[in-house]
Amino acid sequence: MAPSAVDAQAEVPVVTKSAAHREPLKTTGALDAYEHFDVTPTIGREYSNAKIVDLLNAPNSDELLRDLAITISERGVVFFRAQDDLTNDLQKKLILRLGELSGRPATSGLHIHPVLNSEREVEGGNDLEISTISSVGREKYYESVKTEVDGLNTKKQDTSQWHSDIAFEPVPADYSSLRLVKLPKTGGDTLWASGYEIYDRISEPYQAFLETLTATFEQPFFLAAAKHNGFQLYDKPRGSPENVGSTLKAVHPVVRTNPVTGWKSVFPVGAHVKHINGLTSEESKHLLDWFLQLLQQNHDLQVRFKWRSPNDIAIWDNRSVFHTATLDYDGQGDRFGNRAVGLGEKPYLDPQSKSRRAALAERE
């Protein structure tokens, strides 16, 4: 019997198509008055002196924040330095407004992480919608499980750290924000990589093939962490009526459209992906390894952010970028931050959407 008859799934989910084409959003230029620079030609922008609180309180706040949302979706990730007057509540407000002003569904709000929420914070906090990103929490809840499962974990490369936030949810993330409030002496940089560019570096016939596929996303490691540490996952609605229960499993298209830009991105990259549906185990592994290889071997589609000051903040669009922390700061002090994550739409592929390069070429 052929391998495909043995390994492939009997029922293959079809790619979700958009019910109606949505025109990409365009900026008004309202943010151009704020000093900024593109960190690389492909991905990343930093606003050198702007204060997010001022944007939230400006008379034209809606216009500024809508332009910021579009900029984040186009550039992948945007950075602000030393936002010392930004509280957790204002950080949440920012993420909510970015989504609302760029077309987020009314049923989508802020995500509640099934593990990293205020029910078990290592360093305090009483807000379920703020995830504490903590070196102490990572060691307590995750590293012991990894070592138990694989005693050679510390000898392995950290390629599996790349991910898009909460891609295992039926309604995954749109905009995420991370504000570090405690920094190690050195190390702990964060990297982002462009899913738009991964798509653009694939030949057109292969792009067309990938657009017919779906992938299953799953996060059983969180279940293992809960069992190992004696707590229950947060199984009530996590920011959307569809994100409920403890299964932590969803099916999404391999190529998805970012509704803000109208650009296509490869989506199943990194830690939350289980397999490509309908393919043999060998074929699925080959594709997933290849996507990760494209990300790793093309460093010009990556950007690396060095956290310099407490309350530096990064905001990114999970629909079209992947990110990873750099776990190189053992012995350098604790790393602690607050993350707010918004939910977007169910991933879909709009047949009328374009690649990033094609869309930018039309602007010239």
Q: Any residues with CB less than 8 A from the CB of 100 and at least 6 apart, and which?
A: none
- Picking from 17, 108, 12, the residue whose alpha carbon sits closest to that of residue 348 is 17
Place of tokens 């109208």: 262
CA dist 132 and 121 (Å) reads 7
E-assigned strand segments in the chain: 36-38, 45-47, 77-80, 131-134, 173-182, 190-194, 214-218, 249-253, 255-258, 263-266, 273-276, 302-305, 312-317, 321-325, 336-343
Mean pLDDT across 143-148: 53
Quick one: pLDDT at residue 28?
98
pLDDT tens digits for range 97-108: 999 999 999 999
pLDDT at 144 over 60: no
- Angle ∠(270,272,277) on CA atoms, nearest 5: 95
Please give the C-alpha separations between residue 41 and each of 69, 76, 194, 300, in angstroms, as whole numbers. Answer: 19, 12, 12, 8
| pLDDT of the residue at 61 | 99
Domain ranges of the chain: 13-18+28-363
Which pLDDT value is given to residue 192? 99
241-273 per-residue burial string, b: 16 or more CB within 10 A, e: under 16: ebbeeeebbbbbbbbbbbbbbbbbbbbbbbbbb
Q: How much is the pLDDT for 10?
A: 45
How would residue 4 be classed by pLDDT, with cut points 50, 70 and 90?
Answer: very low
- Quick check: 314 and 78 in contact, CB under 8 A? yes
**Given a cut of 90, is residue 158 above it in pLDDT?**
no
CA atoms of 263 and 309, how far apart (whole Å): 33
Q: Are 161 and 323 spatial neighbours (Cβ–Cβ below 8 Å)?
A: no
CATH architecture of 13-18+28-363: 4-Layer Sandwich (3.60)
331: left (phi over 0), alpha (psi -120 to 50) or beta: left
Most confident range, picked from 74-83, 121-130, 134-143, 332-341 = 74-83
Write down the H helix ranges in 161-311: 195-200, 204-210, 220-229, 281-297
pLDDT in tens, 226-282: 888 788 899 999 999 999 999 999 999 999 999 999 999 999 998 899 999 999 999
pLDDT band at 364 (very low <50, low <70, confident <90, very high): confident
β-sheet bridge partners, residue 175? 317
pLDDT for 113 equals: 92
Query: pTM value?
Result: 0.91
Q: What integer best gives the mean pLDDT of the chain?
A: 90
Q: State residue 115's pLDDT score.
A: 84
pLDDT at 253: 98
